Amino acid sequence: MRKLLPFALLLGAAIPASAGSQERLPVIDVHMHAPSSPGRVEDFQPELHSWITMMDNLNVRLSVLSGVPDILFAWHQETGDRVIPSLLFPCENGVSFNWGRPCFEDGGDWPDIDRLREDIEAGRIRALGEMGPQYLGLSPSDEAFEPYFALAEEYDLPVFIHMGPGPPFSAYEENPFDVRSPNYRAAAGNPLLLEEVLLRHPRVRVVVLHAGWPLADEMVLMLYQHPQLYAEVGLLQWTDIFPRDEYYSFLRRLVRAGFADRILFGSDTMLEEGIDAILEADFLTDEQKAGILCKNAAELLRLGEEICR
Ligand SMILES: [Zn+2]
């Protein structure tokens, strides 16, 4: 399983001789990761270039790029306005979840608020997430996140929160990822746990990454109750873990409930597989596919529809 972990797929993915990106539907990827493994930033240049080529070939117009500061800032500098840089946190024992890249200069697990404010004002950070409270067994409404939601509200930043599936057997030794997550709790991935923080900060746009799988009923109920909430489907395209029927019946449940216009595409580094899974879903109309792949994200990010033409 290890060699098939998502980021490895990015590294090894073949780029098809493209028929030309203009023939493909435009895409906004709201869930891309800068490398989260340890290592010198410059050593990841090949990954950066293969990702840029893949964005070109697959007609990806914009990506929300999540990472810890050093590599996030470096990759943003090289990609400019094709990327919305987004800060990944909290960390655990000073390193990022799953992969172990050291996070902050002070060695802590949480971003310093004054420093974060500077980075936001300088345009180095334009979104918050992937936030992973579940990796620490925390609810997203835990007071530890309160200063960050307050900042998101003050600067009108979208917030991206991991809810639902982490690695299989996350809290056990059997967890196949480089860094174990003994504090991971399934129960902390219930979308209902967002309710208090959403009500405290009703103007903050919040995206549930992985859509809280498999809790479709809870996700539907939260979309029904909270207009500022979106669901993103990254990771669910990974057929090693999620049988395609399971992904589709989960996605269909959200669509059937009437929320196709608040479902977002995210690759979680598996770009081509993720796009193809949406394109091949025969229960989606062409309009719904275009919405999920691009227009809904343009709306969330307040970019106007131009970017999706
Ligand atoms: Zn995640």
- Residue 31 CA to ligand 1 center (angstroms) comes to 8
pLDDT bracket for residue 38 (50, 70, 90): very high
Q: What is the pLDDT of residue 305?
A: 86
Tokens standing for residue 211: 């859509």
- Residue 177 CA to ligand 1 center (angstroms) comes to 13
- State phi, psi for 83 to the nearest 5 degrees: -135, 140
- Residue 29 CA to ligand 1 center (angstroms) comes to 14
Alpha helices in the chain (DSSP H): 6-12, 45-57, 69-79, 113-121, 146-155, 195-200, 216-225, 244-256, 271-279, 286-290, 296-300
Q: Is it the case that residue 28 has pLDDT exceeding 90?
A: yes
- State phi, psi for 142 to the nearest 5 degrees: -60, 145
CA atoms of 248 and 66, how far apart (whole Å): 26
- Residue 160 CA to ligand 1 center (angstroms) comes to 9
pLDDT bracket for residue 63 (50, 70, 90): very high
- Residue 20 CA to ligand 1 center (angstroms) comes to 31
- Residue 130 CA to ligand 1 center (angstroms) comes to 7
3-state secondary structure of 270: coil
pLDDT (tens digit, 9 = 90+) per residue, 139-176? Answer: 999 999 999 999 999 999 999 999 999 999 999 999 99
- Residue 55 CA to ligand 1 center (angstroms) comes to 20
- Residue 23 CA to ligand 1 center (angstroms) comes to 30
